[in-house]
A and B are shown apart, each in its own frame.
Chain A
């Protein structure tokens, strides 16, 4: 009985007792949710256009951040370091397309997936080889003060991150909807072969998509790096983007955003209010178990398309 009370009733009483604390927890969750969303966004872009499940997206975030902060530390100004890093990410996309993807065309999904695990490992070693594995501080002038609304404290940097993420999503949406490349991308996402027959160059489309995903990774890396420093744990945290995708659906951009926010808020709230009952640190697995349960009821995700199998 006690157990049930503790699980089902007590946490809610606590929430009711101090709603402003609850609000802070939720906001904190939303902010880490934005980060998950940004990583997940990179996954979705690549998955939509090439059907490749890019496990290395998390490491790409780390790699971008390492390069950016490395260039800054080398004395370059932000305005020079940023485009240079973008260039590096494009170059990376080109290498991946040339050296890996083009060699694995028509292979099973699972093989491509495992290849991206290999890419992830390689990049991690390579990034640290170039810029050493020390934790770097990243300061790009994001405001670090806090605002107060009544009892509720909000970090300005969090708001900044949310705004940047929002702008990024809007820009990407416009890009997909209204440009020629965007249309081609959607065509490729629908059907590779059909897109090729109407003359859309598949390989350059893939290059563009991986570059855009690299760009998104850079933005995520800067945001994240400013909060916690540029370090290896970035790529581990980025694994959480996987359950985000299960929730949001692998092919949906809004799904990635909303899924990220749900996971971010869900795991923070669960940790603070329910965590102590189970000995704490349930944040480590909450997102994965949530995703697993979700798979039983809606395998295609909140916004994904239902798949009809044919023989």
Chain B
């Protein structure tokens, strides 16, 4: 695999169809307004970044997209269908996978089992077949194991295949979590600060994985990240949130020179 310096799929992808459209989304907890009439869309095959200062509502945005929070106002259109009161597992069956800001792996299980768990919606053997480990279940287990092994190879984590994830260092845990999300073969992959707390080398690895995922599997990625260099390099379009409102939306170059964004980030008064 080669490292790359040019911006990826982004520019061509800008013309593809909209996979997810968010229109006028508002979300509040008690009296606190977390998101205020936010609208933007994500196009198929692009890498879309969501940025903003802490508490801007970025994670809430991802939670709305995958059905963990239900906005009080606004419509979500996914693949041309308006989705209402979707549960997280519905989102998963429709091809939305995600990783978390604070790693949410299954600590008692091995790397292999964690990633295998990501395949739940690709396995359909009945209870009896599972109880006796025969027929469809045996075939499914082996077929999915083969698929999971390709992910393990792809993420270069062969050596920790059988290690309980609770024992892995932070960077590897992040990688396993990405693997678990990938195992679902998602159409839309939501990544919540995939590089937080990583050193430069790990960030480079992670960037490479993201680009390869985007390219090889054609996965659409929505990404929250604080590292501006990474965001500018990877993403095709960026939406900027601040205090629950949308501040700007556009290509990296436009965002780089947007006055409001610079103010929000540097805190320049007027």
B117 within 8 A of A: no
Residues A311 and B104 in contact, CB atoms below 8 Å apart: yes
A308 within 8 A of B: yes
Taking CB atoms, residues of chain A closer than 8 Å to B29 are 308
B209 within 8 A of A: no
A-B contact count (CB 8 A): 8
Bound CA span A311–B58, Å: 12
Taking CB atoms, residues of chain A closer than 8 Å to B101 are 311
Taking CB atoms, residues of chain B closer than 8 Å to A308 are 29
B68 within 8 A of A: yes
Taking CB atoms, residues of chain A closer than 8 Å to B102 are 311
Smallest CB–CB gap between B57 and chain A, Å? 13
B100 within 8 A of A: yes
B63 within 8 A of A: yes
B39 within 8 A of A: no
Bound CA span A308–B30, Å: 10
B144 within 8 A of A: no
Taking CB atoms, residues of chain A closer than 8 Å to B68 are 311
B59 within 8 A of A: yes
- Which residues of B from 79 to 127 have beta carbons under 8 Å from A? 100-102, 104
The chain B residue with its CB closest to the CB of A308 is B29
Smallest CB–CB gap between A208 and chain B, Å? 32
Smallest CB–CB gap between A134 and chain B, Å? 45
Taking CB atoms, residues of chain A closer than 8 Å to B100 are 311
Smallest CB–CB gap between A10 and chain B, Å? 45
The chain A residue with its CB closest to the CB of B66 is A311
Bound CA span A308–B68, Å: 12
The chain B residue with its CB closest to the CB of A306 is B30
* Bitwise interface map of B from 16 to 51 toward A, beta carbon under 8 Å scored 1, else 0: 000000000000010000000000000000000000
Bound CA span A308–B60, Å: 13
Smallest CB–CB gap between B88 and chain A, Å? 9
Smallest CB–CB gap between A109 and chain B, Å? 15
Bound CA span A239–B102, Å: 37
* Bitwise interface map of A from 272 to 311 toward B, beta carbon under 8 Å scored 1, else 0: 0000000000000000000000000000000000001001
- Which residues of B from 54 to 79 have beta carbons under 8 Å from A? 59, 63, 68
Taking CB atoms, residues of chain B closer than 8 Å to A311 are 59, 63, 68, 100-102, 104
Bound CA span A72–B104, Å: 55
The chain A residue with its CB closest to the CB of B30 is A308
Bound CA span A308–B63, Å: 14
Smallest CB–CB gap between B238 and chain A, Å? 23
- Which residues of B from 124 to 176 have beta carbons under 8 Å from A? none
* Bitwise interface map of B from 178 to 211 toward A, beta carbon under 8 Å scored 1, else 0: 0000000000000000000000000000000000
Bound CA span A174–B104, Å: 42
The chain B residue with its CB closest to the CB of A309 is B68
Bound CA span A94–B29, Å: 41
Bound CA span A311–B190, Å: 13
Smallest CB–CB gap between B261 and chain A, Å? 27
* Bitwise interface map of A from 253 to 272 toward B, beta carbon under 8 Å scored 1, else 0: 00000000000000000000
Bound CA span A308–B101, Å: 18
Taking CB atoms, residues of chain A closer than 8 Å to B104 are 311
Bound CA span A262–B29, Å: 33
* Bitwise interface map of B from 214 to 257 toward A, beta carbon under 8 Å scored 1, else 0: 00000000000000000000000000000000000000000000
Listed A/B pairs (8) with beta-carbon separation below 8 Å: A308-B29, A311-B59, A311-B63, A311-B68, A311-B100, A311-B101, A311-B102, A311-B104
Partner-B contacts on A (CB < 8 A): 308, 311
Q: Other CB < 8 Å A-B pairs besides A308-B29, A311-B59, 6 of them?
A: A311-B63, A311-B68, A311-B100, A311-B101, A311-B102, A311-B104
